[in-house]
């Protein structure tokens, strides 16, 4: 197995893109980071121009086009950074970003202007300052460790972070957001799992977008985490040509639940620069969610959310089945029929 592919020339050599596309993709790569792990390269069918794995990770010349509504900081994180590496938007929880490096670079990433192999990694002093901020704010109940991908950290670094959070009495929950169990499952070994051990509640949220990502190796990785007593959740991004049909999304969500991973969020695509070709409309997302209601187990249903531009937070934007009408309510059932429901006296 070769290593991670880090530039268009590597993608050409691996047979994943034709040589004539290299020049334009070199231009994309100067603008946005590129990396494709061996696990994901192995899933790509180079003969399929619409391959859903390639769509997520292989750069595309359309990334050089910026739509007028697109932004460098699409969800307004930068306005909520009291100290480096912390985003504090909601009172009870913060993001802690120890590094801005990923094993793979998703073409639709909302942090695509911040992440990369040269992306910022907190120094010891900066990490201490971030921890000191969390310690000084008793309202912080949960710390969400993200990045970059926090599972790229050494087990030793993770243990340092865990021990620091462990020592803060008001922190009850430590949540990790990662793509590593999917894109580099071989990294989820005993040392990493051991580093996650805590007396506090630890959750791991895995990012997966297409059923083909749910490989046997990924299953082994999530089982290792699950066996350590850590509940697993998933997040997915709704992506045009990848998972924007009920059939594909249903297969993804069923596959996750069957691996004991509870679907948490389905994110509407953020307005990151150069990602218009990967976004759907909100109406299409609601239609897909509506199709899943009634035919897919309730525990497999994610919440469809939009992270509002400007830093106003995440809000559910899925279909709504109840509306007030006359005296009482009109409620739609999963088949699309409406029913009267009485008002409360």
Is 293 a catalytic site residue?
no
Q: Which of 260, 143, 263 shows the shortest CA–CA distance to 202?
A: 143
Closer residue to ligand PLP (CB): 144 or 222: 144
Closer residue to ligand PLP (CB): 144 or 171: 144
Least separation in angstroms between CB 19 and ligand PLP: 40
The Cβ-side half-sphere exposure at 131, using a 13 Å CA radius, reads: 19
The Cβ-side half-sphere exposure at 323, using a 13 Å CA radius, reads: 5
Positive or negative, the CA dihedral 329, 333, 335, 339 is negative
Least separation in angstroms between CB 143 and ligand PLP: 10
Closer residue to ligand PLP (CB): 16 or 87: 87
Q: Is 247 helix (H, G, I), strand (E, B) or coil?
A: helix
Is 179 a catalytic site residue?
no
Choosing from 21, 89, 187, 212, which is the catalytic residue?
A: 89
Q: Is 195 helix (H, G, I), strand (E, B) or coil?
A: helix
Choosing from 73, 97, 105, 106, which is the catalytic residue?
A: 106
Least separation in angstroms between CB 95 and ligand PLP: 5
Does residue 39 contact residue 186 with C-beta atoms inside 8 Å? yes
Distance (Å, whole) CA 36 – CA 29: 12
The closest residue (CB) to ligand PLP is 89
Closer residue to ligand PLP (CB): 95 or 271: 95
Least separation in angstroms between CB 303 and ligand PLP: 9
Does residue 255 contact residue 214 with C-beta atoms inside 8 Å? yes
Q: Which of 222, 182, 221, 153 shows the shortest CA–CA distance to 56?
A: 182
Query: What number of chain residues touch ligand PLP (CB under 6 A)?
Result: 7
Residue with tokens 């801005």: 100
Choosing from 10, 51, 97, 102, which is the catalytic residue?
A: 102
Q: Which of residues 63-122 bind ligand PLP (CB under 6 A)?
A: 87, 89-90, 93, 95
Choosing from 90, 200, 224, 264, which is the catalytic residue?
A: 90
Q: Which two tokens stand for residue 42?
A: 């192995």
Is 320 a catalytic site residue?
no
Is 344 a catalytic site residue?
no
Least separation in angstroms between CB 267 and ligand PLP: 9
CB contact set of 174 (below 8 Å; sequence gap of 6+): 142, 143, 145, 162, 165, 198, 200, 201, 202, 203
b vs e for 295-324, b when ≥16 Cβ sit within 10 Å of the residue's Cβ?
ebeeebbbbbbbbeeebeebeebbbeeeee
Among 144, 206, 230, 237, binds ligand PLP (CB under 6 A): 144
Q: Which two tokens stand for residue 312?
A: 């106003």
Does residue 266 contact residue 301 with C-beta atoms inside 8 Å? no
Q: Which two tokens stand for residue 279?
A: 């976004």
Q: Which of residues 242-271 bind ligand PLP (CB under 6 A)?
A: none
> Per CB under 6 A, does 54 bind ligand PLP?
no
Among 64, 314, 319, 321, binds ligand PLP (CB under 6 A): 314
Q: Which two tokens stand for residue 277?
A: 């070709």
Closer residue to ligand PLP (CB): 145 or 259: 145
Least separation in angstroms between CB 177 and ligand PLP: 8
Closer residue to ligand PLP (CB): 211 or 285: 285
Least separation in angstroms between CB 80 and ligand PLP: 6
Closer residue to ligand PLP (CB): 264 or 321: 264
Q: Known catalytic residues? A: 89-90, 93, 102, 106, 109, 111, 270, 307, 314
Q: State the residues that interact with ligand PLP by CB under 6 A.
A: 87, 89-90, 93, 95, 144, 314
């Amino acid at each position: 197995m070769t290593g991670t592919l880090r530039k268009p020339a590597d993608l050409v050599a691996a047979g994943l893109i034709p040589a004539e596309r290299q020049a334009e993709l070199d231009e994309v790569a100067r603008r946005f980071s590129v990396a494709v792990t061996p696990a994901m390269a192995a899933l790509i069918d180079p003969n399929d121009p619409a391959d859903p794995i390639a769509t997520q990770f292989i750069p595309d010349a359309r990334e050089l086009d910026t739509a007028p509504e697109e932004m460098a900081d699409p969800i307004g994180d930068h306005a909520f950074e009291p100290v480096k590496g912390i985003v504090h938007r909601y009172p009870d929880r913060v993001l802690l970003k120890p590094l801005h490096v990923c094993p793979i670079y998703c073409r639709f990433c909302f942090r695509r202007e911040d992440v990369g192999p040269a992306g910022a990694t907190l120094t010891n002093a900066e990490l201490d300052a971030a921890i000191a901020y969390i310690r000084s704010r008793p309202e912080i109940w949960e710390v969400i460790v993200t990045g970059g991908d926090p599972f790229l950290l050494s087990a030793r670094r993770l243990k340092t972070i865990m021990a620091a959070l462990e020592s803060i009495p008001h922190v009850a929950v430590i949540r990790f957001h990662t793509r590593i169990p999917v894109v580099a499952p071989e990294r989820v070994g005993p040392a990493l799992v051991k580093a996650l051990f805590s007396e506090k509640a630890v959750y791991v949220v895995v990012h997966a977008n297409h059923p083909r990502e749910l490989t046997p190796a990924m299953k082994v990785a999530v089982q290792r985490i699950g066996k350590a007593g850590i509940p697993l959740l998933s997040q997915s991004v709704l992506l045009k040509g990848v998972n924007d049909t009920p059939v594909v999304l249903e297969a993804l969500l069923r596959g996750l639940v069957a691996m004991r991973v509870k679907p948490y969020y389905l994110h509407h695509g953020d307005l990151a620069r150069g990602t218009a070709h990967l976004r759907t409309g909100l109406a299409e997302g609601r239609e897909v969610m509506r199709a899943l209601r009634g035919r897919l187990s309730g525990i497999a249903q994610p919440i469809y959310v939009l992270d509002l531009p400007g830093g106003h937070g995440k809000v559910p934007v899925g279909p709504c089945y109840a509306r007030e009408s006359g005296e009482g309510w009109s409620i739609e059932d999963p088949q699309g029929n409406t029913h009267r429901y009485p008002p409360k006296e």
